[in-house]
Every structure is written in structure tokens, then in C-alpha cells.
Amino acid sequence: MGNQLEQFIEQKYINLETYKKDGTSIRTPVWFVIDKDLIYVITRDSTGKVKRLKHNQDVRIVPCSFKGEPKNEWIKGKAEKITGEEADKAIKLRKKKYGMLARLTGIFTSQKGNLVVYSIELID
């Protein structure tokens, strides 16, 4: 696992910075999982971050607290929408990492659309 990824291993949240069309950055604390040197974020397809990622796949991430306070230095990355078996695996990893909380959250957010998975490759 790359040195940049090591800071995320024992963390529960990352702050995901995405960008509006005008370049304004929006930071959102999110759950994540790591697999094969990629970070995966699972969200709902009607969320603002998905809308922003459709137009600009450049992101920055940092380990953070529940409220989004950074715990380290921001790292640039490139997000890519993932489907199929890779997406299914990421969803299973999230259920394993976050347990019952992931299932409850899924129930309460289901009105926001279908699950969508993004991988984030870190850029040096």
C-alpha cells in the first residue's frame, strides 16, 4: 500500500473536496473503504457530490473527524464512477467496516436514489 494511503487505514471518515462548475470547492465528510490502493466512496446518485463529479473528477481528500476537521494534509486524487463486481465489492466492504450503522443509514437515505460507487486514485 502506498505511503499516501497509510494515513487513511485506521480512519472512519475522509473529507471529500469536489468542485462546482465555477470552480468553487465543496467539502463533505464521507465514509470510505480502501481496496487495492484505491479509496472507494459510496453515496446516492442524487447527491450534490455526484452532480459535481459528473463535471469534474478532480478531488482532494484528507482523513477527518465526523464534523470534517482535517487530521492531516490534503491529497489530490482522481475520481471514477465504478459499476459491476468492483462496485458490489466496495459496498460489501463498507457494510463490513461500518456494520449496522451502514445498514441503518441506507434505510434513511434510500429516497435520495440508488447507490453509486466512486473510486479515488491518489495523485502524487
Query: Which three three-digit cell numbers place residue 90?
Result: 466496495
Predicted confidence (pLDDT) per residue in 100-119, tens digit = 777 666 555 656 678 899 99
Question: Whole-angstrom Cα distance, residue 19 to residue 99?
Answer: 30
Which parts of the chain fold into alpha helices (H)? 3-6, 48-55, 84-109
Predicted confidence (pLDDT) per residue in 12-46, tens digit = 999 999 999 999 999 999 999 999 999 999 998 88
Domains and CATH numbers, the chain: 3-122 (2.30.110.10)
In degrees, rounded to 5, the angle at the alpha carbon of residue 94 between the alpha carbons of residues 58 and 101 is 115
